[in-house]
């Protein structure tokens, strides 16, 4: 790793110690400079042009490319803070960032979820993925969950809950469903007793990585002959809450969205009122067609 990238990573961690941005940005920068194969202070905007074309040729999504551009831009902005003569920032937002239309969240059908969890029997893994499906946690939030974040013995009238560190180090309360609570307790009963306070550990008693969790899900997907991502479990959680009639403002709080409009996209993938209106309209058209056909 470049010394400058290492300092940038430490700076990010000091600013947001619980955020996962440092992990993603560091990885993005390592990939970029391995591809560029040149000193960081000689990278030009034309190199960024070629890098975008390279990433597109590999089939990376617009979101992934834009995040890597954001990491590169943030790195050079950091250099401008620690040097009197920093290199020019090669990432120009108006030139490089790719426009992305609004995309609807990709949830998973309920029968696919049933098939997946039928093969997840290990207590640790079942607890991890149920926290995504029944509590809406992101994979990074599951990874960073600490024993001190668990509130499993609430007072009368309160629900078991978790304190979750989300994006930009924002904290929120997430309630545990009965299914998720049972799975979490089952894991805690067999969790190794180690110094680490991280809830989910690997076989060596060390905290799992995001990649490790994703690879576990991929293994279960192959066994169940389905395919989905960790984030799709979170999307499915939101869709099911919409279908259950929960107010969108409550869903916003559970998901940790800063803006209501981010949560409202889930109304577009499963809006009970629109579905009911559509069914009523189709029934009316069917009756009209039958009447006209019989005349």
Show which of 96, 118, 152 is a domain's final residue: 96
Q: Does the pLDDT at position 203 exceed 70?
A: yes
Least confident of 74-88, 107-121, 237-251: 237-251
Give Cα separations from 207 to 28, 142, 173, 176, 263 (angstroms).
22, 11, 22, 22, 31
Per the structure, the count of domains in the chain is 2
CATH number, domain of 29, equals 1.10.150.130
pTM for this one? Answer: 0.70
Give Cα separations from 23 to 16, 19, 34, 168, 276 (angstroms).
11, 9, 17, 13, 44
pLDDT band at 256 (very low <50, low <70, confident <90, very high): confident
Q: Do 168 and 141 meet the contact criterion of CB atoms below 8 Å apart?
A: no
Same domain, 207 and 128: yes
Domain that holds residue 143: 110-230
Show which of 213, 230, 247 is a domain's final residue: 230
CATH number, domain of 133, equals 1.10.443.10
Q: Is residue 280 part of a domain?
A: no
Give the chain's mean pLDDT.
89
Q: What token pair was written down for 180?
A: 């998720």
Show which of 230, 265, 284 is a domain's final residue: 230
Which pLDDT score, from 0 to 100, does residue 102 have?
A: 67
Same domain, 72 and 136: no
């Amino acid at each position: 790793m470049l010394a400058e990238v290492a300092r940038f990573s430490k700076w990010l961690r000091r600013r947001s110690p619980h955020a996962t941005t440092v992990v993603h940005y560091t990885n993005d920068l390592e990939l970029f400079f391995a591809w560029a194969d040149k000193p960081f202070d000689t990278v030009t905007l034309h190199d960024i042009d070629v890098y975008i074309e390279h990433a597109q040729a590999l089939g990376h999504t617009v979101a992934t490319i834009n995040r890597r551009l954001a990491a590169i831009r943030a790195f050079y902005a950091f250099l401008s803070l620690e040097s009197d003569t920093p290199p020019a920032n090669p990432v120009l937002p108006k030139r490089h960032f790719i426009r992305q239309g609004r995309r609807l969240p990709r949830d998973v059908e309920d029968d696919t979820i049933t098939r997946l969890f039928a093969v997840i029997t290990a207590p640790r893994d079942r607890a991890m993925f149920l926290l995504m499906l029944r509590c809406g946690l992101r994979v990074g939030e599951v990874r960073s969950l600490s024993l001190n974040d668990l509130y499993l013995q609430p007072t009368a009238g309160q629900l078991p809950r978790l304190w979750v560190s989300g994006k930009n180090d924002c904290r929120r309360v997430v309630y545990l469903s009965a299914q998720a609570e049972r799975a979490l307790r089952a894991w805690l009963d067999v969790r190794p007793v180690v110094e680490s306070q991280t809830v989910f550990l690997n076989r060596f008693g060390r905290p799992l990585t995001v990649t490790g969790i994703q690879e576990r899900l991929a293994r279960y997907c192959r066994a169940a002959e389905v395919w989905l991502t960790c984030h799709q479990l979170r999307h499915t959680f939101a869709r099911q809450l919409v279908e259950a009639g929960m107010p969108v403002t409550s869903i916003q709080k559970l998901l940790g969205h800063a803006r209501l409009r981010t949560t409202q996209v889930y109304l577009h993938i499963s809006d009970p009122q629109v579905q009911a209106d559509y069914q009523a309209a189709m029934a009316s058209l069917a009756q009209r067609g039958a009447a006209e056909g019989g005349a």
